[in-house]
Amino acid sequence: MAVRDRDVTDAAAAAARWQGNSLSDMRRRMVDRVATGLCWLATVLVLLMLFSILFVLVRNGIGGLRWATLVHVTAPPGQGGGLANAIAGSLIQTGLAVLIGAPVGLLVGIYLAEFTATDGRLINLVRFVSDLLLSAPSILVGLFIYMIVVVPTGHFSGMAGALALSMLVVPVVVRTTEDMLRLVPLSMREAAIALGAPRWRVIVMVCLRAARDGVATGILLALARVSGETAPLLFTSLGNMNWSVSPAVPMASLPVTIYQYAGAAYDDWTALAWTGALLITAGILMINITVRLGLGRNRK
């Protein structure tokens, strides 16, 4: 009789545990579905915002996308001007900024990721300065270059604009390079060192090759950030209504031209502002797609 009572008690306890486990599983599945639904909702909202921005840009800017827009310089209202000088100025200043800032950011990121055994205070100081530049408003960077380059020389220039943009490129490349290099497994470094490779070759031929996708993405993020910056260029390159490709003189740019034309009372200038915004967005999109395809082909 005692054995039967004990069996009944054990069966009841097992049933209670099973019911508790079942309720716990149902709770976990419910939480999982709610979290998954929220993730899908956030994804849909972000995609809707992105597509709405693209739709507005295409709707308002496609009308001004003509051959004359690409070959004619900016002109007074009603004279059929284009954006040729602004496009050329943006390409030159952005290209110079990436050429100046990307190597510096790459070297600093390598130092922070690969030379952690050195003075920790210096490492922390460099990382702090990089984070400070990453979060600094772009207008402060423009004012800084204005004070140290424009004021001493006495004139605005495209090179001053490129220097201001390069200061925005550096921290983005530093952060991405450091993070990507830290993801490279330590066993890859140890294997290369065991084969007798010097440290610089291990970093260049092993670590950077393994992290090249992330490093390239960081450079693209920096390029995307500086391509639409307006405030630094207002204090440095200023703008130019005429054709100019010399970095030593004031130079036009698409962001500054968009800023000047968007608030104008002339319909043709407003249309050119929308067209310029569409060109910037399309250019960044094409660069990202091209590099992604190239990196995918290299991985294969």
Contact, 138 vs 232, CB < 8 A? yes
pLDDT at 115: 86
**Three-state SS at 86:** helix
For residue 40, give both structure tokens.
Answer: 């899908």
Residues 6+ apart with CB under 8 A from 251: 89, 92, 93, 157, 158, 161, 237, 239, 240, 244, 245
Question: Tell me, what's the pLDDT at 283?
Answer: 87
3-class secondary structure, 80: coil
Token representation of residue 251: 């130079």
Residue-level pLDDT at 264? 86
Rounded CA separation 14/35 (Å):
31
The pLDDT of residue 109 is 94
> What is the reported pLDDT for 21?
66
Distance CA 285, CA 291 (A): 10
| CATH number of 65-299, picked from 1.10.3720.10, 1.10.533.10, 3.30.2270.10, 3.30.9.10 | 1.10.3720.10
What pTM does this model have? 0.84
Burial class for 170, CB neighbours closer than 10 Å (0-12, 13-18, 19+) = buried
Averages of pLDDT over each 10 residues, the chain, 300 residues: 52 57 78 92 95 92 90 88 93 95 95 80 88 90 95 94 96 93 90 89 91 87 89 93 91 93 89 93 83 61
Closest C-alpha to 215, from 300, 113, 93, 128: 113
DSSP 197: -
Domain boundaries, the chain: 2-62, 65-299
Q: What are phi and psi of 160, to 5 degrees?
A: -65, -40
Residue count of the chain, please give it. 300
